[in-house]
Structure formats: structure tokens, C-alpha cells
Structure 1
């Protein structure tokens, strides 16, 4: 029997549905002999039926809420005691007994806790959103941002969620937690450039220092870690175990899933929309475009497209696509909810000031910056320059980047005798890049290129393809788009022959994280959630007291979404099916190294499975 589908609160179920089976089970577990179990199992239901009608009246009273809260505290206390005992046993290698305490009351507590855990009292969901979520109308809201990468990996899903957390926390309207993956030492050496961390605290300090140097203020938000493993084939981090369990239930209010499809491909745990009141997905990556470039790409892309639709519908209430370059997902709208590092806007302001004073702002020509993999625009760049080598005679391009395809890219450029000067990757805000006037980005695989926004913020010309991923940038006068390779040549010559226009205050604001945060709150429907919450608070007041919200009947769409989530749970619970679809072996649960690094209980203790 799968314990997660037994309702969350054991005590609520006992009061509402006491029957012969449960009585025998509990009495037997606490040590009463089978003959007495059978006798009491038949007597107690008769007595219970007589008082059940009286209990129904008590339930309607608002004071019953305090009784339920007391029961919840008792349950948590018992289970906490049992977990401590189990942890001691696991540390000692199983040499100490869980029931080594001679006190009969402690023994009884531990036996009851064992029964409570076997009923899956922590589960909060079903085929639709349950009514058991807490009323948060009088509390400060809690926002959990969950992402698929973390610094010092300089990728969009590590940098942008970090800024989002800082600027959401800056509003002081909600408590913010950023949940990022923790990699074991062996994986860190593959992902992070020349740096590793011995503990999550050490990595957290690195992230906070990096952030504060760029935003200029101390961001008041929490950073937590979940277990992850690096996939060399996919060049990405895959969660290990149930990621949702690393946000405590008391803080489970609003969830922001950065890359919801990525986070949920192999998610085997609680349904996000059951645990949280509102779940927003932010789509960062055009996975289909990357997959199409691989062997049998069209077939793989077909399956991934439908899997993405499946998991985003099952686990999100709202999905934000940064641009139309991504696939059309259920419950989605298009909006750029990313901003640029304030440092780039400061560089742009300095450039404008220098030009007003008659100083030369740009002393260098054109450059390209990006991770050196073919899919990041290097294929398009080499093809354009090779085709128009004669038209762009004398044109020199400096290229900054590191990556898995660096050798192949440089070899192709050398073979075609292209005038490209390759240099190691560096931060886009590095002083050595301030003097360039033109940023060239021919990539058509990006969803929304952060480097393009940064170049515009610094007051440079940007030459990019006429593509949905660049739609947000077209309104900026310094953004020069091209449709054909001939247009590309014309745009390069135009940019080299002219000076870019200074940004207006409105244009600078549109590029900022302050504006991006306001767009996020609007398009994610957080405004509606907060306003509805206030209305519910007023309507739910009775004589100055807040009462629990009533159960709402699910509609057909919610039932279907719940069924999809349940089917996905069953699918991802099978190790053979996981491996067939490309999962990293052993990622259904986290491993012993994760337990040591993050001070976690073993998975079999944290998530016990019982059967009858």
C-alpha cells in the first residue's frame, strides 16, 4: 500500500473515521495482546457511534481549531523524538536500540510515532488541491525560489534566481528562501571553475559576497540547499530525491520554480501545488532547440515537448515564458521577468557622462561573449563570417568564452582562416570589456540572452538575429537586428561607423531588476493571490476570530491535473523507467554523501514506506 495517499493528519482521521481496522492496528502497535485487541476493536466502534453526533457539533465551533493545532503539535513532537532515536542508531551503526530507554512512557511514545509515520501523516495532497492549507491572511507571506544551478557556476539559472530573491526580499513584503542544489565534491570539480566547497555554509558565504558586491545592499533572505547530481551528458544538475521536502510545511506558501520542466522531469515526491498555495514556473531554457541539434534530435524533441507539457501542467498554477522562443506550455504567458546587474547600468551611466564631457567612451570595436558550446551561437557566428569573409575584409572580432566545445570551435575558425581572436571567458562587467562599442550575438537558441541585456545597459550597440528571443530588446534604439546574412553585414558596418545613443531613464528602468520584479508580481498573478487573501480574511472573520476555510469541490481540470501528477509519480518511482528516459542512476533518493554534507537523515528514515 502506498502510504503517501493516506491523508496527512492521523488525529483528524481517527476522530472522523474510527473503525475496527484502525483500532486493532494501533492497539497492537502499542503492545496490547491480540485477544484484547479483537475485543476492544468490536466494543469501541459501538461507543464511538454514540458520541459521534456530539463531536460533529464540536467540530463546527471555532475553538476546535486550537484542539487540532494541539494534536498537530503532539504528532510532531512524537515523530521528532523517534527521528532522533533513529538518527542515533544510524550514526552508531545500528548498535543502539531505538527502545533502549527503560521508561515505559518513552517506549509508548516511540511506538505511537512509528504508527503515525506509517500513515503518511505528512502528506498534504490528493488528486486536487486539498483544503488543509493554512490560512495565511494575517501572516507575512513566504516565497520559496527553487532553481537548478548555483554560483560559482555562471549560468542564467544560477545568477537570475539569486537576483530575484534579493529584490523580492528588498520589498520587505514577504519572507524569501532561495533553494539551490548542493553538489558533492566530485561533481563540484566538474562544474565549478577552480573552486570547491567543503560545506553548504561556505558556498552560501560565497554567493552572498558575490551578490552584495553587485547589488550594493545586504539582501535579507534565506539560502537553503537540496541534494543534486551533475549529468555530464545533459550538462546540467538533476535533483536527487524529493526537492519539495526541503521547504518546511510551515513555510510552504508561494513557490517559484525556476525551470519547472527541468526540476520535475524526474521529481518523485509531493506535488508542488498540493504543498504550496500558489506555484509559478519560470521557463529559462529552450530545451527543444538544444535537443534538435543532437543525434535523433527530432524524435527526442517530440517526446521532451510532451513531457514538458505534462509536468508543467501537473505541478504549476502559472508559467512565465521569458520569450516566445520557448515551447507553448499550459497555463503560460510571455513576459521578461529578468533584469540586469545594477553594475552594468552604472557602467552605462558613466559612458553617457564621459560622452557629454567630450571624452571618448569606446576605444575598441566588436566582441562576442558566451559559453563556448556550439549551441550558444558559435555555429551561426562562424557560418556568417565564413560566408561574408570578403565583405567584412579587415573586420576583427574578439571572442571571450570557455566551454566543452572550445577546441572544436577554435579549430573550425582556424581552418576557415577567420579573423577571430579567442580569449578566456570573463565576467561581462570586467574593466577590459568596457571599451568595446559593438556586441555581436547571433545565437537563436537562447530564450532571453542576459549578455544582450547587459550590453545594452552599458550603452553599447547590439547586433542580434530577428528572432523571438530578442523581441524584448527591439524597442531599444541601439539594438540592430538582421534577418539575412546580408543584413548582418550591413548592421556590422552601420554599428562600426556610428556611435550608440545614450539610454533614457525609462529605458534604464526597463532593464533594471526593480522593473523586472514588478513585472513578475503582475504576470505571475501574485497581486491577485494577495488581494484575494485579504478578501478571504475579511469574509472568514467571525466575532474577531479566524476560522478554517471550507472544502472546495474540485473542477474537472483540477482532477485531470491531479491524475497527471499521480501518473507521473508512479512513472518516476520505477528505477527502470527512470534509467530508460536518461535519469542518473540512484537519483530517486539522495545518497550517503549528501546525508553527510547536508546533515540529513537517511531516505528510508525521512520517508518510511510501510505495507500491510
Structure 2
């Protein structure tokens, strides 16, 4: 049986499917071979590039090595470039410092060369990229018999998997951020017109900074220093602030003027300092208050004009310049020993104790009287032929009382005695007798008296700080004269005038004086140490049970009516019957001695008149009660001395005695009947000894301390660096040197007007000046060895 081979025929659909799968596998294999071939080409190209880079790096390395060796060889062989290297190499076996440094540097360079020649060296951080080709294989190799849907699924899986790039997280973010920003800005530019793009560039911050930088480079240096002038708002704010004392005098509260200034400046705050200060400083000033901003604005405007303000329109450019780090104090007074008056004794003690501190040099300036005036003023017909002779007398008197040798200078200025005023008036310019190098601090004893007819340089212009000490209640004396009320009215305003013009600070010894500008009440007088020793001796005698006081009551003072003699005679005359048997010893000399004695004799008063004596005289130690009814004194020195000696003091209830109220031995009275009661109380009891605290209050050490504190001398003497420059603002701009104050301008105007008026001889005579006292005379020039008057003040024409 013949069998024929079985012929299998496939269906058309099955054949088509078989041929399709074969063709897809072939296509995939071709794609894979293409990809693998491309990857091999890329890798070989990259290897070639890396090899080229390494070759170039090696060539650079070799070149650097050759240059380095040439440098060393040239440095060691050159006879002129590096002589120290060759010299040291030939003389010493040790290598020079330069070669040593290079050899130390060579290992470091070798390490660098090894680092960049290493195969692991990377010029930039390469990301770790791993291409997983197994994913492609898995996507391509699939079951051949799968249907079309399975094939489509595998292809989608291949597309979805693709190349798996494994990189470190965040490795490329920093590189792609600028590109993303650039793409976003390019997209924004596509939606904008050309005009909008140009406008944005024009208003950009970069362009503004570029313009300001170019402007600063191209600007003329002279133009950069120009400061715009003050506008109306700033001028008004400055005027309101400087007028605050006047507004306060008119009853307008100071806080209102401050609010006005703040409101005016607030409107201009944004432009106030930016116009006149560099941009870098404006940020520092934004935290300042309105006052400081206005001060700096004014300072910048004034400085831009080149004007340098030093305290007045008529200032002296030759003020004291501190070279030896020691300040100088000049004490100017209106009287001198042997005239035993308060303005002669107290300034002398003040000079001694200020000089004893050794913190400052001291000069005492006292008046010199010609022989004719000396015979009238000085007691016991005591006269001097030369200033040196009087200076010797003053120093010996002082040293006997203070117990130490005071190191200070005594100078003299010309003076004339006025019989009508019973005082010494300066002749000529008193300030010229203090040299400019010593013109630092001035203490004017009786500043109103010194400046009534002062015709010369302004004290506050020549000196850095001027303190006035008021000793005398001139208004009380003037009221006792003919037409006293009218004279006191004019004198009061003249005193205010000269105090404002010539003083920085004024101290009044008590409230009994006129209320002057720039003044405060403070007792800066002490007691002669000799009186305190007497008081200690009396206290020691009481402890031993001895009788210290054997006499009753006494009064001591210059015998003129105004020194309390009128009040004393009135009290004793009214209470004559109540004080029956009471005797009072009176010590004093003076112009009214005859009238006082005749009046007491006519009224039949129990007064025993004796010649004037020093209060420290031994004959006065045994008195128990000191009576002082005066109400014309400012602060009676004799009262303080009696308290220091441990005596009772009976005085009037008056502002001039306020300082003594704290002492238990001070008995004050208000009425004549009260006076009688206090006198009887003092005569019947024993005074209490002074405590150490009470003795210190009366001492000159305590008085000097009060002077330093209340006259602000502590601050002035301690200020070394900012004495002339003024205190600097914390931003570095000096305000006090450039900013004139309205009060100072007014005071300068008053001083100028006073100088003009006192220069006219007719006006001087109308106000009671001594004829010819505007300048010193020939006798003064001869005694003090000065230039002749016609040379010092020549008359032309």
C-alpha cells in the first residue's frame, strides 16, 4: 500500500502571523545591534577625549617642571638678581632662607601633580550614570507566539522603562535652575512688546545702580561737596527751637515749641539729610531723633560754607591751648590785702586751695593802686612802693593762716579807688593781664562790679569757661542813697546786661543777691583754718572744765552805715529799756565812723567803740556772743568765723543767713522783741561745741568742692580732648563747633553793644565812672612797668 506524504497546509491567517513575528524579531535585533554599536562608538570617542586631556595635562606638567627647575637654577646662579641667595650659598653650608622655602614648597607641588595626573582625577563632578540594557532585552525578548495585543503590551513596557538613569538626588538641580529661569524669562519676553521690554530695562535696579555709579565717576569733585541751602521749613524749625527761651519767658510751654519743631521736621524727614550726606550715612541717621537730624543738617550747611563757629561773632582765636595736660584757672577780684574786705580775703583763700590740689595752675589777679589811693584805702597808713613788695606781704599773711605754702601766681592790674562808690574800679582792659596761653578758665569775683565799665576783650571769647561769683548786694546799698529806687532800677538791668554778656555760669553766695541770668545760689566761701583751730581749742577747754568765755557780746565790721550799723543802733534804741545793763563792744574803722559814734552817743546807747582788728586777734577769743543785725550782707564772713570759733551768733532772719541755720549756735530773730529774747538766751547759756561734720562744712576744702561741683568746673577740667573741638556726634560730625546758638548770638550782641558804649568817655562819665579810667595812666604804667598809655592806645589826628 503506497502512502503519500502528508501535506500540511496552513491557513492564510496562521502563515501571516508566523511571518510577522519573524520580521519583528529581526527588526528588534537590528535596533539592538545599532544601539550597542552607537554606544561603543560614544565610549571609544569619550576614551579618546580623556586620553587627549591626559596627554595635554602631562605636557603642561612637564613644562611646569622645566620652568620650575629653570627658576631654581637662575636664582642660585644669578650674580645680581638675588645676591643674598648666592652669597649665603657660598659662605655657609646651610641653604639660604629663599631656597629653603622653595624646597618646602616643592613636595606640595609634587602632590598636586600626582593628584591631577591620576586616572581618578576629574575636572568636574561626573554623575554616576548607569544604563541598564537588560530592560531593553526584556522588552524585546518575549514569547513569539503571543498575539498582537501581547506584542503591543511589550512595546509599551519597553517605552515605559526606557533608559533607567540612576543619579544622586539633587545633583543636577543647581545646574538646571538658571536654565529654567532663562526659559521662563524668554517665554515672558515672547508675550511683551518691544516698548514694554525697553521700559522694563530702563527702570530695572541694575540700570539705576549703573547710572548712579557712572554719575559718581563722571561728577566733578567740587560739585559733590555742594550742600543745598536750608529751605523755609528748616529755617522756621530752627528759629522756633532757638526761640524757646523767649517763648518760655512769654508763657509758652517749652513742650509746645518742641512739638512745633517736630511737626515741621517730620514733613521733611525723607529729604532732610539725604541731600547733604552720603548715601552710606543716611541709614545711620534714620534712627536719630528730630533734634539731632536738624543739628546735623545745620552743621552740614554751615560747614559747606567754610565757616567755623567758636562761640561768638567776636571770638578770640587765641584761646588757651593745653600743651602740658594741665588746665589754668585765673581768679580776678576787685580788692587786695591789706584791705580787709571780703573780696580781698576770700579770693586769696580760694586761689590757695585750688592751687593746693595740684590739678591746675592758678593765677590771682588783684588791683594795684597808686600811692595816693593806697593811703586812702589801706589801714594803718600801710603803703607799698612796688607790686613785688605787696605780693610779699600777701603771701606771708596767707601762709601764716593756712599753714602751707601755696604755689600760685599773683598778678596786678591797674585800678582806681572811687570815693563815691567806696570801691576799686578797674582801669583799662583787665583781661589783657592774663596771657593768651593761660586764658583757659576765669573766675570773676564780683563779675558785675568788674564789668560795669569794662572796655576790652570779651571774657567768654578769651577764656574757655567763665564763672562769676556774686559777693555784694549792690541794690541794697544803692537804695539807701539819694534817688535810690531809680538808681537801683538802672543798676539792676545793667547787672543783668553785663552778666549775660561776660559769664557762662554765675554763683550767688545767698538768695539775698539779685536774681541774675545763668545763676544759682551756692555758698563757695570757707573759713580761715585759724578760726577752726580756735574752735577746737575752745571745745577742748570745755571738756577739761575750763572757763572759755569771760566776756559778753561784740560786733565787728567796717564802720559804714550799710554794714549793719544802722540796724544795730535802731534795735538798741528801740529796746533800750528791755536791754538795760547790756553792753556791746564794737570793733571797726570806716568812712562813717564819726557819724556812727556821734549818733550812738546822742541816743545814750551802751556801745563801746574800738579800732578795727583782725577777727583772729587774741583779744576777741574770750567773747561769747557775736551780734550781727546786718541785712545788706550777702554772706557775712564774720558770722562764719564766729561760729567756727564756737561762739553764739545772733543774726536776723534773712536770706543772707540761710546757710548758718543748720548750726545750733546760730540764733535768728524776726522782730525787735525776738532780738531781745535771743540776746538774753545767748547771754544766759553756753554754746555747744561743733561736730566734725559742722567744722568740715565751714572749711575751705568743702567750699572748694562746692565750687568745683556747682560751677561745672569738674566737667571743664576733666574734658581734655573735646575742649576746643566740641563734643562730636556719634556719626562723626561735630555739632558744637559749627552750630551757633541763638542765646549766644544775643549775648555776643549785648557784649558788642556794651563795648561800644563803654568806649565813649562822655557816656562813662554820665554813668558815674572815674574820669580817665578807660585806660590806665602814666603812674600805673610806671609802677607796673607797662607800655606808656599813648603807645598802648594811640590817638590819631
TM (norm. structure 1) is 0.77
Q: Deviations over 1:463-496 (max 9, x none)?
A: 0000000000000000000000110000001001
Q: Deviations over 1:482-514 (max 9, x none)?
A: 000110000001001100000000000000000
Query: 1:258 and 2:445 equivalent?
Result: yes
2:664 maps to which of 474, 477, 488: 477
Count of residues in Structure 1 that have an aligned counterpart in Structure 2 = 485
For residues 401 and 132 of structure 1, do their structure 2 counterparts lie closer, same or farther at Cα, with a shift above 3 Å needed? closer
1:460 maps to which of 644, 647, 651: 647
What's the offset of the Cα at 1:603? 3.4
SS in 1 for 2:523: coil
Q: Contact between 1:135 and 1:549, CA under 8 Å: does it hold in 2?
A: no
- Partner of residue 388, structure 1: 575
SS in 1 for 2:367: strand
What's the offset of the Cα at 1:151? 0.4
What's the offset of the Cα at 1:139? 1.9
What's the offset of the Cα at 1:602? 2.0
Query: 1:374 and 2:561 equivalent?
Result: yes
SS in 2 for 1:445: coil
Bigger Cα Rg: 2
1:271 maps to which of 436, 442, 458: 458
Partners of 1:585 and 1:260 in 2: CA distance: 21
Q: Deviations over 1:160-190 (max 9, x none)?
A: 0000000000000000000000001111111
Query: 1:318 and 2:505 equivalent?
Result: yes
- Partner of residue 36, structure 1: none
- Partner of residue 149, structure 1: 335
Query: 1:282 and 2:492 equivalent?
Result: no
SS in 2 for 1:213: helix
Aligned structure 1 segments of 4 or more residues deviating by more than 6 angstroms:
537-541
- Partner of residue 478, structure 2: 291
SS in 1 for 2:382: coil
1:443 maps to which of 630, 635, 645: 630
Q: Contact between 2:321 and 2:437, CA under 8 Å: does it hold in 1?
A: no
2:541 maps to which of 354, 370, 383: 354
Partners of 2:724 and 2:394 in 1: CA distance: 38
SS in 2 for 1:437: strand
Query: 1:182 and 2:368 equivalent?
Result: yes
Q: Contact between 1:320 and 1:332, CA under 8 Å: does it hold in 2?
A: yes
What's the offset of the Cα at 1:554? 1.1
SS in 1 for 2:720: helix
Q: Contact between 1:273 and 1:279, CA under 8 Å: does it hold in 2?
A: yes
For residues 377 and 347 of structure 1, do their structure 2 counterparts lie closer, same or farther at Cα, with a shift above 3 Å needed? same
Q: Contact between 1:137 and 1:537, CA under 8 Å: does it hold in 2?
A: no
What's the offset of the Cα at 1:536? 5.8
Query: 1:163 and 2:349 equivalent?
Result: yes
Q: Contact between 1:125 and 1:271, CA under 8 Å: does it hold in 2?
A: no
SS in 1 for 2:774: coil
What's the offset of the Cα at 1:553? 2.1
Q: Contact between 2:319 and 2:436, CA under 8 Å: does it hold in 1?
A: no
What's the offset of the Cα at 1:350? 0.2
- Partner of residue 120, structure 1: none
Q: Deviations over 1:552-577 (max 9, x none)?
A: 22110000000000000000000000
- Partner of residue 383, structure 2: 196
> Runs of 5+ in structure 1 lacking a partner?
1-52, 57-123, 542-547
Q: Deviations over 1:308-359 (max 9, x none)?
A: 0000110000000000000000000100000010000000000000000000
1:420 maps to which of 598, 603, 607: 607
Q: Contact between 2:367 and 2:415, CA under 8 Å: does it hold in 1?
A: yes
Partners of 1:574 and 1:374 in 2: CA distance: 34
2:700 maps to which of 495, 501, 513: 513
Query: 1:576 and 2:767 equivalent?
Result: no
TM (norm. structure 2) is 0.59
What's the offset of the Cα at 1:528? 1.8
Partners of 1:403 and 1:136 in 2: CA distance: 45
For residues 142 and 577 of structure 1, do their structure 2 counterparts lie closer, same or farther at Cα, with a shift above 3 Å needed? same
Partners of 2:488 and 2:582 in 1: CA distance: 38
Q: Deviations over 1:199-234 (max 9, x none)?
A: 000000000000001001000000000000011111
What's the offset of the Cα at 1:237? 0.5
- Partner of residue 555, structure 1: 741
Query: 1:172 and 2:172 equivalent?
Result: no
Partners of 2:630 and 2:738 in 1: CA distance: 48
Partners of 2:430 and 2:316 in 1: CA distance: 20
What's the offset of the Cα at 1:137? 7.8
> Runs of 5+ in structure 2 lacking a partner?
1-221, 226-309, 729-733
Partners of 2:464 and 2:475 in 1: CA distance: 30
Partners of 2:485 and 2:626 in 1: CA distance: 32
What's the offset of the Cα at 1:127? 2.6
